[in-house]
Structure 1
Amino acid sequence: MSVKVLVVEDEPALVDTLEYNLQRQGYQVSVATDGTQALRVARETQPDLILLDVMLPGLDGFEVCRILRQEMNVPILMLTARTEEVDKVVGLEVGADDYLTKPFSMRELLARIKALLRRVRLVREEMAGAEREEGGEPVQTERFVFGDLVIDLGRHEMSCGGRTFHLKPKEFELLVFLARNRGIVLSRDLILERVWGWDYDGGSRTVDVHVRWLREKIEEEPSKPKRIVTVRGIGYRFEG
């Protein structure tokens, strides 16, 4: 089945351009022109990726992103004419996976879309611990266990303190990368390259935002972390 992309944009000319180029790439395209419609269409179609403009009638893109992020793990690429760094940070904090400033080239947009979809696919393949052997028996799911913190790669979920969390794709990918490298100091640049990809230009603030989200779920006192420790001037170390 073709990949489903939801375009949330209120500029008719840009909508036509995006729809045409995405369909040429084989994507199945749905369109919403305001925030309320975006929520409805996203819930109905369950897209594989969302292109979300910030400046929308009614609910703006930040609010739409915040609401959708609570309901689904779909990758969200925000489109905006704004260039201020604070807007990029707000976009990341409400759950966007990537951020592209207008005007942009269609080639760059398509490359970003393919990169996002590729990362999601690779994570799902890596986390799918229920692959079957030739005889048809499922392979045992890989798990990381650190006390009451359990990271289940097969189910793509994390539990801590008796609660189960279905993390956003990048949150889970980051947590797995940290867990695989327990006790090792990892720089923000290295984390960006391994989790977001070498071509990601969102800056190291992205890492800090996602670490903060994880700490809120796995630390007894997020302001005094014991599992994801900050190494001043370098990055982070996972202690389990």
Structure 2
Amino acid sequence: MSLHSAPSAGQILIVDRNRTYCEKLIHRFNEKGFAIRRCVSDSQASDIYRTTNLDLVIFAADLPEMEGFRLLKRYRQEATTPILMLDDTYNHHDCMNCFLFGADDYITRQQPLDEIVWRAAAVLRRSAQIPTKENKTQLVVDELVLDRKYQTVFYDGEEVSVTPIQFKLLWTLVFQQHQVLSKDFLYRQVLARDFQKYDRSLDMHLSRVRKKLVGVGMAAERLQTAHGKGYCFS
């Protein structure tokens, strides 16, 4: 798998309370075309996992729910989604237990961010060769429902007609809710090309998606433009 192939890189959930570190890690993953969503607790992770087709989950070892590795044990019993354990510093005993209880790799915050991205890519490459019965194709946020299999969008029960590109743009923004996604990332992820300074294609698609959703009752400010930075779904 090429890390420069944005459309197929994968969707990753990071469960970690360390905001500063996660912002750096998410930025590096985004640069390589990965779609990243972050939450800070097991309950939030469970809600996302039930409604999202995740390719990989990264759990912080210092989560309260990780005591006795119970969170890792439960997720491994319930699902085959690859899991990376993220520790603050290397601990031989914890590393061995992570593998014992089902983690696919053990990483630390001391490792270079690029190495973590490559390790995630390697795990995803291996997992792609293993058949799975899991088939979560929906994103659900309040009244908004996106179905990736059928490329459909519903808001408060009413279907919203969108083009394939508009669907991909909305899916990417909703999956990474509350994160400002740069135009560079979105052009690679959605349009499969590099961003050019005077190219307004993405602005046009976003404007049309916002107009359609506002037309069925969604608040316009949920699709935000961060001037000079990118876009965000809140």
Normalising by structure 1, we get a TM-score of 0.48
Q: Return the structure number with greater relative CO, CA threshold 8 A, min gap 6.
A: 2
Normalising by structure 2, we get a TM-score of 0.49
